[in-house]
Amino acid sequence: MAKHDSALGLATAPFANAVRVADHLRPVQPVTLLRPHAARRAARFFVENFPGTSMYAVKANPSPDLLQILWHSGITHYDVASIGEVRLVARTLPDATLCFMHPVKAEEAIAEAYFTHGVRTFSLDTIEELEKIVRATNAADDLTLCVRLRVSSDLSKLSLAAKFGAAPGETKELLFAARQAADALGICFHVGSQAMSPDAYAQAMERVRAAIVEAAVTVDVIDVGGGFPSAYPGMEPPPLERYFDVIHRAFEDLPISYSAELWAEPGRALCAEYSSLIVRVEQRRGDELYINDGAYGALFDAAHVGWRFPVELLREPESRARDLEFSFYGPTCDDLDHMAGPFLLPADTQAGDYIEVGMLGAYGCAMRTAFNGFGAEQAVIVEDAPMATLYDEAADETRDNVVRLGARG
């Protein structure tokens, strides 16, 4: 991975840990901490343990450096959701396999993806989208078409059940029509973000079974989508191996082609541990801390969906004060720039202190803006373990101090 990045001011040499970054740089603006070893470990885990093909969902974090890390760690397929993501991955990883998995696409985007970038896999959830794909590709005979089914998000922290997916009464006609247009027919679904139980996939696969039986078509691909979780305070999911086992058993029991492929689209699980953020406390008001990043920066989820990220006070020597529940205000002038938490930090946290906010590799970096002129301007590589992990030491050849949530090395 490159050690310089003009946009983020990537440091020339890694730091040992977040405390060293805060002590050495004393940054005025937020600093993004990057852990390439954590992304490599996650990628290897999926490549070696998921019983099919894992394709990275680029929307979770489109960093070109991260894309290259995942590629060199064995991830060869990429779930792209826009022509911008198609162009990005095609430019960064010319040999990667791209799958255009957004169910509603511009016809021009489909045509460019197919004719310019070699994309052959597209998802859809309506007859209208199928017709659009056929027109845009000039009725190509080498398409893999994945019909997206609507499934429950009840076992996930963030629902994805409302916007996309064919309902039970729509799938028979759609699967039959897609079968006629496709070289390979797939079925895909998404159980929602941060699925907290493997049963989410078991239930979705029952929906897949019913759709196949009703339509009586030969299916070549089953794509179980995303939803694979990471660990956060109050959200400690079962081991990922249990998800893989449930998916594999359900896949083996489906009435599908003997040569059918199993796919998944992990996003959060591959990149959440990749980065975190150092913020500075600018003011304290009781149990409210005013920090220099927030709802319009990397902490979008903390503000808008109440996500509780792990936090740690970066101070040497460590504070001996008891923990107190804090909420955060971000730096903009907007009242919406508020993160209720609660975030547990020592009771003596004060203005001028630095805090690490962990597990921001997924969506945090991707959703930040420069609203009101605020934002992270620097990124550095650190060598310590992420603040939480679902990957054990055996999955990480480069580290010998992997820690669990709440226990930093």
- Is it the case that residue 263 has pLDDT exceeding 60? yes
- Is it the case that residue 398 has pLDDT exceeding 60? no
What digits encode the pLDDT tens for the residues 35-91?
Answer: 999 999 999 999 999 999 999 999 999 999 999 999 999 999 999 999 999 999 999
Count Cβ atoms below 10 Å from residue 300 Cβ, excluding itself: 21
| Residue 161 to residue 57: CA distance in whole angstroms | 18
Q: 279 - beta bridge partners?
A: 355
| Residue 22 to residue 385: CA distance in whole angstroms | 16
* Range 384-390 average pLDDT: 94
* Range 151-164 average pLDDT: 82
What digits encode the pLDDT tens for the residues 324-382?
Answer: 999 999 999 998 999 999 999 999 999 999 999 999 999 988 888 888 888 777 999 99
Contacts of the segment 107-116: beta carbons below 8 A, 24+ positions apart: 107/132, 107/135, 107/136, 108/83, 108/136, 109/82, 109/83, 110/136, 110/137, 111/136, 111/137, 112/83, 112/86, 113/83, 113/86, 114/140
| Residue 371 to residue 341: CA distance in whole angstroms | 22
pLDDT of residue 393: 55
pLDDT of residue 12: 55
Q: 249 - beta bridge partners?
A: none
Answering whether pTM is above 0.85, one says: yes
pLDDT of residue 367: 86
Question: 371 or 252: whose pLDDT is higher?
Answer: 252
Report, in angstroms and rounded to the nearest whole number, the Rg of the chain calculated over CA atoms. 22
Question: 333 or 401: whose pLDDT is higher?
Answer: 333
Whose structure tokens read 């005013």?
290
- Looking from the CA of 104 toward its CB, the CA atoms found within 13 Å total 5
Mean pLDDT value across the chain: 91
* Range 313-328 average pLDDT: 96
- Is it the case that residue 180 has pLDDT exceeding 50? yes
- % pLDDT > 70, the chain: 93
User: Among 3-17, 258-272, 356-370, which is the least confidently predicted range?
Assistant: 3-17
- Is it the case that residue 188 has pLDDT exceeding 60? yes
Q: Which domains does the chain have, with CATH numbers?
A: 18-34+275-395 (2.40.37.10), 51-265 (3.20.20.10)
DSSP SS3 for 208: helix
Chain centroid to CA 227: how far?
Answer: 8
**Residues 6+ positions from 101 with CB-CB distance below 8 Å:** 79, 80, 81, 121, 122, 123, 146, 188, 223, 265
- Is it the case that residue 214 has pLDDT exceeding 80? yes
- Is it the case that residue 249 has pLDDT exceeding 90? yes
